[in-house]
């Protein structure tokens, strides 16, 4: 399929949100933005990627494109079609919003950002193919991938090339182990598992816990294993561990076994489509445990019929920020996102938005787009975004806190901020 490129122009007639960062899986409904017209989404001018009702500006001709040296080429990828498109669309919407603002406020080093966004369909092979296309195109850095498995595959090849790669939302631990040029903005699977076990003890006073996780998912199993290990260190007894596979819809056999142990806490670390089903069935078999979940719970309310809200009432889950936070920067981000996409941003949106600004800050700190200089600047950065303050540790993972969300009456409420 032919790849198209678009230039991201400054829109002098548009009133833009302030570029408010100092220098932000595991998602939205797929209808939060228009479905891409093709399975390979080429970069659109971020300021023009609004709702389907708005006309799309024609692609710039080769004669109209400035020379490569006049723009900063940033590659991006995500699952924009396929079974996990809901996450990719949410994440890349946040990215495009940030690029809009950056370009409208002068770009990076006085140059406009040219964003080339490709659809990898949630597939590792497609992701590597997309990466190779972006390298041939001339990207100076990569924002992506969105989910963990394709991120691992891309990180392995990016490490060989030395091109700076930042995944906003890939939580699997070994992503950043690929090379010194690979970073992430979200916290890792083990980190959130450990923090949630500590939360279960310190906040909930749990003495017993049970875990049900997706054995087909590195994400789900990774968080579950870290949670169970840390729970035991905290003196909490793990009274049951049950598993299931991708595509399963009936969890009552596993939940009935867990119910016999009557744990204080039921830990469910998966993405929200499964989380909602498991929570409803847990209540149906009589489980009264407090439910605690990982960041994949973000978005669960939209998958649960209001008649079943009781099943997810008082669920606690980890997240990267809270839309209820009164911080002016966060509220401006939410306002601008809603205006552009007619939906509320998820954590995926916020993390990708933050990643764009973090990369901007790093390139400006380096004073160049040289890949080694940019990677070094990312490593040394102290950044504050929508999802909080962060620095990077020796393994290029962010040092940051976790926001705990509590579901009350079908709404996400802010509970607390926790860390190890």
Q: Which residues are bridge partners to 222 per DSSP?
A: none
Is residue 94 over pLDDT 50? yes
- How many helices and strands (H and E) does the chain possess? 11, 15
Is residue 50 over pLDDT 70? no
Q: Where in the chain are all domains bearing CATH 3.40.50.2300?
A: 30-187+326-386, 190-319+403-418
More confident of the two residues 26 and 282: 282
Q: Any idea of the CA torsion for 300, 303, 306, 312, to the nearest 10 degrees?
A: -30
Which range (27-41, 233-247, 298-312) has the least confidence? Answer: 27-41
Which CATH class name applies to 190-319+403-418? alpha beta
Mean of pLDDT values over 26-53:
35
Is residue 272 over pLDDT 70? yes
pLDDT number for residue 299: 87
- Stretch (H or E) spanning 415: strand 411-418
Q: Using alpha carbons, select from 65, 63, 87 the residue that is nearest to residue 77.
A: 87
Question: What whole-number distance in Å separates Cα of residue 350 and Cα of residue 329?
Answer: 11
Each residue's pLDDT tens digit, 175-199: 999 999 999 999 999 999 999 999 9
List phi, psi (to 5°) of 350. -65, -40
| pLDDT grade for 55, boundaries at 50, 70 and 90 | very low
Pick the CATH number of 30-187+326-386 from 3.40.640.10, 3.40.50.2300, 3.40.50.150, 3.40.50.300: 3.40.50.2300
Is residue 310 over pLDDT 50? yes
Number of Cβ atoms within 10 Å of the Cβ of 384:
18
pLDDT number for residue 420: 80
Q: Which residues are bridge partners to 141 per DSSP?
A: 74
Each residue's pLDDT tens digit, 212-262: 999 999 889 999 999 999 999 999 999 999 999 999 999 999 999 999 999
| pLDDT grade for 69, boundaries at 50, 70 and 90 | low
Each residue's pLDDT tens digit, 99-121: 999 999 999 999 999 999 999 99
Q: Can you give the length of the chain in residues?
A: 420
Mean of pLDDT values over 132-143:
98
Tokens of 130: 């997309």
Peptide bond into 169 cis (omega under 30): no
pLDDT number for residue 1: 40
Please name the residue that has the structure tokens 């548009």.
14
Mean of pLDDT values over 14-37:
33
Q: Between β-strands 402-408 and 316-319, what pairing exists: parallel, antiparallel or unpaired?
A: antiparallel
Q: Using alpha carbons, select from 96, 150, 175 the residue that is nearest to residue 357.
A: 96
The dihedral through the CA atoms of 196, 123, 126, 115 has a sign that is negative
| pLDDT grade for 83, boundaries at 50, 70 and 90 | confident
Question: What whole-number distance in Å separates Cα of residue 185 and Cα of residue 143?
Answer: 10
Burial of 383 (0-12, 13-18, 19+ CB in 10 A): buried
pLDDT number for residue 286: 98
- Model-level pTM? 0.76
């Amino acid at each position: 399929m032919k790849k198209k490129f678009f230039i991201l122009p400054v829109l002098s007639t548009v009133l833009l949100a302030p570029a408010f960062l100092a220098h932000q899986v595991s998602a939205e409904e797929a209808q939060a933005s228009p479905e891409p017209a093709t399975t390979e989404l080429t970069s659109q001018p971020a300021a023009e990627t609004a709702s389907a009702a708005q006309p799309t500006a024609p692609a710039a001709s080769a004669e109209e494109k400035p020379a490569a040296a006049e723009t900063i080429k940033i590659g991006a990828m995500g699952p924009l079609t396929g079974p996990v498109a809901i996450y990719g669309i949410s994440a890349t919407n946040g990215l495009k919003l940030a690029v809009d603002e950056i370009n409208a406020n002068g770009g990076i080093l006085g140059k406009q950002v040219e964003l080339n966004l490709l659809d990898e369909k949630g597939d590792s092979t497609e992701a590597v193919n997309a990466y190779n296309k972006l390298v041939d195109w001339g990207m100076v850095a990569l924002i992506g991938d969105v989910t963990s498995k394709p991120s691992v595959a891309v990180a392995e090849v990016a490490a060989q090339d030395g091109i700076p790669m930042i995944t906003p939302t890939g939580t699997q631990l070994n992503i950043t182990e690929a090379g010194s040029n690979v970073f992430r903005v979200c916290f890792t699977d083990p980190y959130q598992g450990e923090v949630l076990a500590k939360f279960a003890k310190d906040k909930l006073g749990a003495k017993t816990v049970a875990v049900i996780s997706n054995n087909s998912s590195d994400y789900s199993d990774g968080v579950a294993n870290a949670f169970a290990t840390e729970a035991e260190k905290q003196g909490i007894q793990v009274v049951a561990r049950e598993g299931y596979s991708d595509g399963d819809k009936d969890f009552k056999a596993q939940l009935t076994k867990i119910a016999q142990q009557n744990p204080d806490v039921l830990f469910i670390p998966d993405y929200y489509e499964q989380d909602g089903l498991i929570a409803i069935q847990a209540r149906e078999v009589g489980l009264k445990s407090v439910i605690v979940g990982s960041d994949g719970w973000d978005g669960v309310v939209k998958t649960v019929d209001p008649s079943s809200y009781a099943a997810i009432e008082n669920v606690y889950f980890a997240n990267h920020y809270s839309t209820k936070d009164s911080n002016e920067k966060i509220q401006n981000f939410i306002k601008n996102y809603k205006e552009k996409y007619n939906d509320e941003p998820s954590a995926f949106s916020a993390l990708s938005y933050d990643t764009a600004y973090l990369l901007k800050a790093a390139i400006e700190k380096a004073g160049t787009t040289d890949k080694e200089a940019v990677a070094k600047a990312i490593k040394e950065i102290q950044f504050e975004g929508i999802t909080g303050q962060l620095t990077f540790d020796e393994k290029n993972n962010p040092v940051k806190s976790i926001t705990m969300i509590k579901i009350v009456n079908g709404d996400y409420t802010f509970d607390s901020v926790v860390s190890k």
